[in-house]
Amino acid sequence: MQNLPQKELLGYHSNMKIIKFKTLPSTNKWALENINNLEDKTIIIAETQTSGHGRFQRTWESANPENLYLTFVLKPEKTDNIANLTQYLSLTLAKILKNDYKIDAAIKWPNDVRINKAKIAGILCESTIKKGKTALALGIGVNLNMTEAELAKISQKACSLNLLTGKNIDKTEFTRKLCDEFFKNYDEFLKNGFPSIKTAYEKQAEFLNKTILLSNGSEKEEVNALMLTERGTLIISDKNGEKKEILSGDIEL
Ligand code: BT5
């Protein structure tokens, strides 16, 4: 019995479907395993995760119940722009940090949100196709209330909203803001795609016109980040001055 997830339905407002668990291995994993039974725009939240993950099976530290671990279940009819949803979500978060908490966040391509080069959130979109229909688990973890000691255990520089603001962060209120802001322009974004957020995204981008390290499997290459395309991909020039379009991957700066 102990291993059964504890499920509880919460509605921030009537049209939001939220399923909340005490603990899960991963909100993204649960969403994908149960995708057939979940409606479009359902929100899955776990107070803690025992196997929270990022890209390439990297770990997402998820032991602290005062942080947010959330997955948007999305079943869009129009799928042309879904590759850019992680960028849309990173911009959504950057907007909230600016408007509600007066914090200037920077986006590290494609979707890391950082403050003074310290990571505050991670975003991971996973997909599945069932009977020709695409379904997505768009997950986000946000550090809301952490201690310096907890942050020091993370394998890269990380930060938390409480330490940046000097105040404890109300998780329910933050979650409501994030979900409201995400769905405010979501349908519009599915129609119009990256061009509709390009200017705003560029304003938050900390990597443009800089020398960056591009990870290529185990190799790292020093390149110049030149510009973003209308598709949200990155144009770089390598050390021979040759230009390339980068579709995904890791950068360091
Ligand atoms: C990510 O991966 O940044 C995406 C993380 C997505 C987590 C959410 S939580 C809800 C949903 N359920 C899941 O299981 N996942 C999603 P990536 O770019 O691969 O970055 C992973 C790296 O971020 C790790 O190797 C650490 O260096 C760092 N990291 C881990 N936990 C962190 C934390 N709490 N805060 C800041 N950085 C962290």
Same domain, 131 and 198: yes
Range of the domain at 98: 9-204
If you average pLDDT over residues 237-242, what whole number do you get? 92
Which pLDDT tens digit goes with each residue over 160-174? 999 999 999 999 999
Residue 26 alpha carbon, nearest atom of ligand 1? 14
In a domain, 182, yes or no: yes
pLDDT score of 110 more than 90: no
Same domain, 228 and 167: no
Same domain, 54 and 78: yes
CA 226 / ligand 1 centre spacing (Å)? 27
Evaluate: CB of 71 within 6 angstroms of ligand 1. Answer: yes
Residue 62 alpha carbon, nearest atom of ligand 1? 34
- The protein residue whose alpha carbon is closest to atom 7 in ligand 1 is 141
In a domain, 92, yes or no: yes
pLDDT score of 7 more than 80: no
In a domain, 171, yes or no: yes
pLDDT score of 38 more than 60: yes
% of residues, the chain, pLDDT over 70 = 94
In a domain, 3, yes or no: no
**What six digits make up the tokens of 45?**
């939240």
In a domain, 78, yes or no: yes
DSSP state of 154: S
Evaluate: CB of 145 within 6 angstroms of ligand 1. Answer: no
Same domain, 130 and 235: no
d(CA 125, CA 98): 24
Q: What global pTM score does this model have?
A: 0.93
If you average pLDDT over residues 193-209, what whole number do you get? 94
Q: How many domains does the chain have?
A: 2
Evaluate: CB of 122 within 6 angstroms of ligand 1. Answer: yes
Same domain, 95 and 66: yes
CA 62 / ligand 1 centre spacing (Å)? 9
If you average pLDDT over residues 2-27, what whole number do you get? 70
Same domain, 128 and 170: yes
Same domain, 122 and 242: no
% of residues, the chain, pLDDT over 90 = 80
d(CA 114, CA 97): 11
pLDDT score of 30 more than 80: yes
Domain CATH for 225: 2.30.30.100
Domain CATH for 128: 3.30.930.10
Burial 125-143 (b: 16+ CB within 10 A, else e): bbbeeeeeeebbbbbbbbb
CA 61 / ligand 1 centre spacing (Å)? 7
**What six digits make up the tokens of 99?**
């408007």
Evaluate: CB of 49 within 6 angstroms of ligand 1. Answer: yes
One-letter amino acid at 18 equals I
CA 141 / ligand 1 centre spacing (Å)? 7
In a domain, 4, yes or no: no
Same domain, 168 and 243: no
